[in-house]
Amino acid sequence: MAAKVFTVENRKGGVGKTTTAVTLAVGLARRLHDDGGGNVLVIDMDPQGDAARGLGLNPNGRCVSNVLLSDGNVDILRDNVISADRGDDGGPSRSNLYVLPASDKLSEAKEDILTEFALLAARSMRSRRGGNEAHLVDILDEKLGLAKQAFAYIIVDCPPTLDLLQQAVHQYADYAIVPVKVDFHGASATGRHTSNILQDQAEGIDITIAAIVPTFVNARHNLTKSMMRELTRVYGKQVIAMPVPNTVRVAEAPASGGRTVLEYMPDSPAAIAYQDLVDRLYAQG
């Protein structure tokens, strides 16, 4: 069965995308492990490379750009994926979690990747009789299609930008998860982002918002209550995830041996909120 692919995205920086992506990945991997199988892959599409770091991993030259510049070769995919299992060196045991990391190489390679995309798109347009529009998704599927066969879930940690590559990622994925920093600026940026997703949907791109995750939430602020009401009014109660509190526990976790809050402080309110998101998405299959 093909992987279920989630992007974690929001064009605003610092809203908790990477934190949400890696925490969700750890949670889904555990649920699969407890149920007897299935692997999870985190794909980092942000040259900042925070996803691997957040899990305490060193990419050592491995980078998603190597895969994007390849022709879907299984060895290149395998060579660039790292196991997130750190049970042997005293870290968290994550036997079924893997990361395709990013590094500076991704920004250097982006131009080449986009040129190649444009060439492939032009070729596929010529080869399709009737002049069908080339779909970027076919191109990304060629590069990352094998990953879809090998994993049960793929979580893509996105950069806070939207360019052609990001649009291709959008099309490669089935569902978007949108963390929203619950402050005034956070809400307006997400409004723009989600309206873009809605516009993409109108243009035939198949992406559904699986969850809007309120992050950095200070329950006592009046602003919080009105923003939560507004999010619920605009997006509907079903997609709004349990709010993740603004807490130093979340920020401390990666610095405490590359852990997520689920591993670092499993009983904390932030871990409970993320576990709730994991369970909800897992229950949807």
Report if residue 14 touches ligand ATP, rule: CB under 6 A.
yes
Q: Does 197 bind ligand ATP (CB under 6 A)?
A: no
Binding to Mg ion by CB under 5 A, coded x per residue (else -) over 32-71, reads ------------------x---------------------
Nearer to ligand ATP, 152 or 253 (CB): 253
Is residue 270 a contact point for ligand ATP (CB under 6 A)?
A: yes
CA distance 147 to 154: 8
Helix ranges, the chain (H)? 17-34, 50-54, 64-68, 74-80, 104-127, 136-150, 164-172, 184-202, 222-235, 248-255, 261-264, 269-283
Distance CA 258, CA 53 (A): 7
Residues numbered 156 to 195 that lie near ligand ATP (CB under 6 A) are 160
Query: Nearer to ligand ATP by C-beta: 80 or 247?
Result: 247
Contacting Mg ion (CB under 5 A), which of 18, 194, 224, 260?
18
Q: How many CA atoms lie within 13 A of 52 on its CB side?
A: 24
Rounded Cα–Cα distance for residues 178 and 190 (Å): 8
Indicate the DSSP class of residue 58: -
Q: Is residue 258 involved in binding ligand ATP (CB under 6 A)? A: no
C-alpha 125/C-alpha 136 separation (Å) is 11
Q: Which does 216 bind (CB under 5 to 8 A by kind): ligand ATP, Mg ion, none?
A: ligand ATP
Considering the complex, what minimum distance in angstroms separates the CB of residue 282 from ligand ATP? 21
Q: Using CA atoms, how far apart are residues 45 and 55, in angstroms rounded to an integer?
A: 15
Q: How far is the CB of 17 from ligand ATP (least distance, A)?
A: 3
277 touches ligand ATP (CB under 6 A): no
Task: Rank residues 8 and 29 by Cβ distance to ligand ATP and give the closer one.
Answer: 8
Which are the contacts of 263, defined by CB distance < 8 A and separation ≥ 6?
Answer: 26, 92, 253
Nearest distance from residue 40's CB to Mg ion, in Å?
18
Q: State the chain's maximal CA–CA distance in angstroms.
A: 60
- Contact segment (CB under 6 A) with ligand ATP among 45-53, 87-95, 192-200, 201-209 equals 45-53
Residues that bind ligand ATP (CB under 6 A): 13-19, 46, 48, 50, 160, 215-216, 244, 246-247, 250-251, 270
